[in-house]
Chain A
Amino acid sequence: MPETKPVSLFFISAEAGAAMAWRPAADIYRTPEGWVVKLELAGVRQEDVNVVTSGSELFISGVRRDRFVEEGWSHHSMEITYSHFERVIEMPCDLDRATISIESYDGLLLVRVGASHEEEKR
């Protein structure tokens, strides 16, 4: 993760811009059924994730909360980024009438985009 390098702090903060949230990494797959967006969002509950579409943009935001801590524990070090995250993905299709579903898979978050309507449109 680039944030570990203090030297480049200047650039990172500039990149972060107005969004004070962090950006999870994402893979996008083309499938016969449509699209699958795989996000590196381990430790995030599904109810803490919010997915919104607008045109062809897919907004994924949420909070990673550290619910692991028990009474009497304390951090020795911390590298995982908690708190708000946010990711905007420009999809190659119109999402207004697409079906969106979310599921967890081995600590990753999958966002499935059904594209049947879109194909009709074409």
Chain B
Amino acid sequence: MSEQIESLPVLPIKNSVLFPGLLMPLTAGRPSSIAAIDAALASEDKELLIITQRDSSVESPAASDLYTIGTKAVVKRMMRRQDGAVNLIVQGVERVVLIKIEQTEPYLMARVRLAPIPEEANTEIEAMRRAILELSARAIQLAQPNAPIEVTQMLAENEEPLQLTYLIGSVLGLPVEKEQGLLEAPSRLDALRLLHSYLLHELQVLELRNQINVQAQGEMERQQREYLLRQQLRAIQEELGETSPEQADAELFRKQMDEAQLPEEARKEAERELSRMEKLPQASPDYHVIRTYLEIILELPWAKSTEDNLDLAHARQVLDEDHFDLKEVKERILEHLGVLKLNPTANAPILCFVGPPGVGKTSLGQSIARSLGRKFERLSLGGMHDEAELRGHRRTYIGAMPGRIIQAMRRAESNNPVLMLDEVDKLGRDFRGDPAAALLEILDPAQNHTFRDNYLDLSFNLSKVFFITTANTIDTVPAPLLDRMEMLRLSGYSAEEKMEIAHRYLIPRQLKESGLTDQQFILTDEALIHVISRYTREAGVRQLERAIGSLTRRVALRFAEGDTTPMIVRVEDLHEMLGPERFSFELTRKQLPPGVATGLAWTETGGDVLYIEATLLPAGRGLTLTGHLGEVMQESAKAAQSFIWAHTEQMGIDPNVVRRSGLHIHVPAGAIPKDGPSAGITMATALASVYTDTPVRSDTAMTGEITLTGLVLPIGGVKEKVLAARRAGINRVILPKENQKDLRELPDNVRAEMEFVFADRVEEVLTAAVPGLVSRLRMPQAA
């Protein structure tokens, strides 16, 4: 083909390349472009040069901004738009090479040389054509699985390889540089090869994209399926007139909320949480957090209370049925009932039962609840060291629960239960806080009507709760806490009381446990006393109950083995049934050597007898104290020593002995810690005895604090101490005169049996305890 030179108006285009034979819609807005179009349309052939800009950001391109190979095109359609821009459809006619720009104003005019690609046909071209057809079929399949099959067919029908190349090249969405590269290819084979490489790359990208899609889809599909099924389930349920589980929950809560008589604050909070819950799917973890919270709010007895049984006779009967004696405590409870009868809004008292283990503190709480007709709940504070256990954790924590108090209220299902806080003396404390501090709020009638649990974050009224705390000792209870409670002491029981308790409660209970009747098992009184005194040593009755339990079990075993004769347990049988006696009376000391005096001590488990031994050290000096004595007791020993030394003449003691000898006081058993001032007079007696070499009466025990001037001061725990003396077989006790009033705590028979000496001064103690000293003692005139 001979070289043809033409001059054409130039329409530069951006981001795209027009191939010969292909149609392209264009919009021209630049004045120079519109001018070029006008010029083309004014010609008879409507031809112009479409050429691609190298840089799409250039607005008025010069020759250097244009590629050198473009396409001669014919304008097929043209239409002016309202805004002055021009829409047109052009069809590529022939590949041209730009020779030079002839004019730039008002539009570009270019001299071009037609550069058609020479026709050629060989097997390589045909092979390329087929390869391209195959690749493009795959690309279409990947890019648009839904594309009609005709597209592929239509491509195959296109016999002219160059046209096919241009057609596929234009629809691949290639970057401008690549499209331009295709246009610039000098021969059919080059164009085909170029397109082949583009297609391969394109196919790889498509395949990769597909792979990613498939993976993502796999993950999505499971969730979507579940969601879809759920939606369908919901639709089916609606159709059937059922509600979805979430809705059912919400409706149930709403119904309960209407019935629950919640206080304003709680109702608002509950409604807010409920509306939040409704918006959540059931699978959400928050859903269950809110659900639990609502359940707790709705289950709490905000306004539910039990009717108090204010029948005093009934209450007295219940208390007497359940517990023997304990007059003071029972009176206190009946008083409170009386008050409630007259003033129903009275605050419940906060009682604190203090006493050794096994005396019935907990069961007393139960019978108080029974006599009042209230619910009974107990929670043990023993070992609790985290404030949050009482007050709960804030709801932001995972697995947060309300505190023990609120949980107890929830169990009680009424807002006025008897709530027993056991072992208040065994509260722990550590870096997490002090539960005693939380108890201060709970047990203060002025504050506990707005008790705020951290979990609930709502105030709950605890003022109707009848709080009872128990403790073995009040020494470890913080003072502010003690101050809030009304102390009731439950001291130990005497042997007679224990017998009574055994007959009334322990034996029937153990018989029932073992499945025996009271005809099948009879425990004689002598045997019972023996069990109490020789097999147990305690203030309460727990060991006793255990001992009775093992007796009844032995009998039950016999019955089970076929021997059905009723069993009468006598003292002689005990050794065989319970083993050797576990305790013998301390009163093996029938005679006391000089320097030994019998003291009485109070312990958490009741009272005990202890001996105080003093001896002179001929070569020694000063005072030696042994036996694990506390500071107060050591001081008390020094006071006793000083008193004796100061009154040597009066007591007829040789001053030389005092001057020359050291002194050792020992209190067995050495391993048990002892403290307190109440052994003062006992030590003074022991010292007087050792210095005068006169023995103390062995049937006499004594307790009392001593002063330097010889006064005897009152002490605590009289009942336990007296009972301990009696258990030990001592029936003469010297007590401070001021403790005389405490004797009314003792059972009548004990009082009748025992001989009491009340002393104001040490001299009186010595007179009563050391008979050999009386002749020597010069009593002060006042006595």
A79 touches B45 (CB 8 A): no
B154 touches A11 (CB 8 A): yes
**A18 interfacial contact with B, CB 8 Å:** yes
B23 touches A79 (CB 8 A): no
B21 touches A18 (CB 8 A): yes
Say which residue of B23, B24, B44 sits within 8 Å of A66 (CB atoms). B44
Name B150's closest neighbour in chain A (CB-CB).
A11
Contacts A18-B160, A78-B41 given: A13-B80 contact, CB under 8 Å? no
**A6–B22 Cα gap in the complex (Å)?**
12
Which stretch from B69-77, B500-508, B713-721 is at the chain A interface? B69-77
B592 to A: closest C-beta gap in Å:
126
**A17 interfacial contact with B, CB 8 Å:** yes
**A74–B35 Cα gap in the complex (Å)?**
10
**B570 interfacial contact with A, CB 8 Å:** no
B22 touches A13 (CB 8 A): yes
Interface string of A1-16 (1 = CB under 8 A from B): 0011010011111101
A60 to B: closest C-beta gap in Å:
19
Q: Which of B1-53 contact A (CB under 8 A)?
A: 20-25, 38, 41-47
Chain A residue numbers with a CB within 8 Å of B38 are 74-75
A22 to B: closest C-beta gap in Å:
8
A78 touches B158 (CB 8 A): no
Interface string of A75-98 (1 = CB under 8 A from B): 111110111100000000000000
For this complex, into which size category does the number of interface residues on chain A fall? 20 to 34
Contacts A4-B77, A9-B25, A77-B78 given: A17-B158 contact, CB under 8 Å? yes
**A25 interfacial contact with B, CB 8 Å:** no
Q: Which of A13-46 contact B (CB under 8 A)?
A: 13-14, 16-18, 20, 22
Chain B residue numbers with a CB within 8 Å of A10 are 151, 167, 171
**A73 interfacial contact with B, CB 8 Å:** yes
Chain A residue numbers with a CB within 8 Å of B77 are 3-4, 78-79
**A122 interfacial contact with B, CB 8 Å:** no
Contacts A67-B44, A78-B41 given: A3-B76 contact, CB under 8 Å? yes
**B89 interfacial contact with A, CB 8 Å:** yes
B25 touches A77 (CB 8 A): no
**A65 interfacial contact with B, CB 8 Å:** yes
Q: Which of A35-74 contact B (CB under 8 A)?
A: 63, 65-67, 69, 73-74
Chain A residue numbers with a CB within 8 Å of B75 are 78, 82
A69 to B: closest C-beta gap in Å:
5
B163 touches A82 (CB 8 A): no
Return 14 A-B CB contacts under 8 Å, by A number: A3-B76, A3-B77, A13-B167, A14-B167, A16-B91, A17-B160, A22-B76, A63-B45, A67-B44, A74-B42, A75-B38, A75-B78, A83-B46, A83-B47
**A18–B88 Cα gap in the complex (Å)?**
22
The A-B contact count (CB < 8 A) is 87
**A84–B44 Cα gap in the complex (Å)?**
11
A3 touches B22 (CB 8 A): no
Contacts A13-B167, A77-B78, A83-B47 given: A20-B20 contact, CB under 8 Å? yes
A20 touches B92 (CB 8 A): yes
Chain A residue numbers with a CB within 8 Å of B76 are 3, 22, 81
**B440 interfacial contact with A, CB 8 Å:** no
Chain A residue numbers with a CB within 8 Å of B46 are 66, 78, 82-83
Q: A9-B24, A76-B80 are in contact. List 6 more A-B contacts (CB 8 A).
A: A4-B77, A10-B171, A12-B23, A16-B23, A17-B159, A81-B76
A40 to B: closest C-beta gap in Å:
16
**A76–B42 Cα gap in the complex (Å)?**
11
Chain A residue numbers with a CB within 8 Å of B22 are 13
Report the 7 A-B pairs with minimum CB-CB distance, sorted nearest first.
A65-B44, A78-B78, A77-B79, A75-B41, A83-B74, A18-B160, A13-B22
B136 to A: closest C-beta gap in Å:
12
**B633 interfacial contact with A, CB 8 Å:** no
A73 touches B42 (CB 8 A): yes
B residues lining the A interface (CB < 8 Å): 20-25, 38, 41-47, 74-80, 88-89, 91-94, 151, 154-155, 158-160, 163, 167, 171
Name A83's closest neighbour in chain B (CB-CB).
B74
Chain B residue numbers with a CB within 8 Å of A14 are 154-155, 158, 167
Chain B residue numbers with a CB within 8 Å of A63 are 45
Chain B residue numbers with a CB within 8 Å of A9 are 23-25
**A17–B22 Cα gap in the complex (Å)?**
9
B188 to A: closest C-beta gap in Å:
12
A82 touches B45 (CB 8 A): yes
Chain B residue numbers with a CB within 8 Å of A16 are 21, 23, 91
Say which residue of A3, A17, A75, A76 sits within 8 Å of B163 (CB atoms). A17
A51 to B: closest C-beta gap in Å:
21
Chain A residue numbers with a CB within 8 Å of B167 are 10, 13-14
Name A65's closest neighbour in chain B (CB-CB).
B44
A20 touches B21 (CB 8 A): yes
**A9–B94 Cα gap in the complex (Å)?**
18
**A84–B296 Cα gap in the complex (Å)?**
89
**A76–B88 Cα gap in the complex (Å)?**
11
B19 to A: closest C-beta gap in Å:
9
Chain A residue numbers with a CB within 8 Å of B155 are 14
B41 touches A74 (CB 8 A): yes
**A74–B39 Cα gap in the complex (Å)?**
8
**A50–B155 Cα gap in the complex (Å)?**
31
Name B41's closest neighbour in chain A (CB-CB).
A75
Chain A residue numbers with a CB within 8 Å of B94 are 20
**A84–B93 Cα gap in the complex (Å)?**
10
A2 to B: closest C-beta gap in Å:
11
**A4–B76 Cα gap in the complex (Å)?**
9
Q: Which of A11, A12, A65, A74 is packed against the most chain B CB atoms within 10 Å?
A: A74
Name A48's closest neighbour in chain B (CB-CB).
B44
A70 to B: closest C-beta gap in Å:
9
A77 touches B158 (CB 8 A): no
Chain B residue numbers with a CB within 8 Å of A12 are 23
Q: Which of A13, A69, A77, A84 is packed against the most chain B CB atoms within 10 Å?
A: A13
Name B93's closest neighbour in chain A (CB-CB).
A20
Say which residue of A18, A20, A66, A77 sits within 8 Å of B80 (CB atoms). A77
Chain B residue numbers with a CB within 8 Å of A6 are 25, 89
B147 to A: closest C-beta gap in Å:
11
**A73–B38 Cα gap in the complex (Å)?**
9
**A79–B41 Cα gap in the complex (Å)?**
12
**A13–B24 Cα gap in the complex (Å)?**
10
A5 to B: closest C-beta gap in Å:
10
B134 to A: closest C-beta gap in Å:
18
Say which residue of A11, A13, A22, A82 sits within 8 Å of B44 (CB atoms). A82
Contacts A14-B155, A18-B160 given: A69-B89 contact, CB under 8 Å? no
Contacts A6-B89, A14-B155, A83-B46 given: A78-B23 contact, CB under 8 Å? no
**A88–B595 Cα gap in the complex (Å)?**
150
Contacts A14-B158, A77-B79, A82-B74 given: A3-B21 contact, CB under 8 Å? no
Chain B residue numbers with a CB within 8 Å of A18 are 21, 160, 163
A69 touches B21 (CB 8 A): no
**A10–B154 Cα gap in the complex (Å)?**
10
Chain B residue numbers with a CB within 8 Å of A81 are 76
B576 to A: closest C-beta gap in Å:
113
**A63–B93 Cα gap in the complex (Å)?**
14
**A13–B76 Cα gap in the complex (Å)?**
13
Chain A residue numbers with a CB within 8 Å of B154 are 11, 14
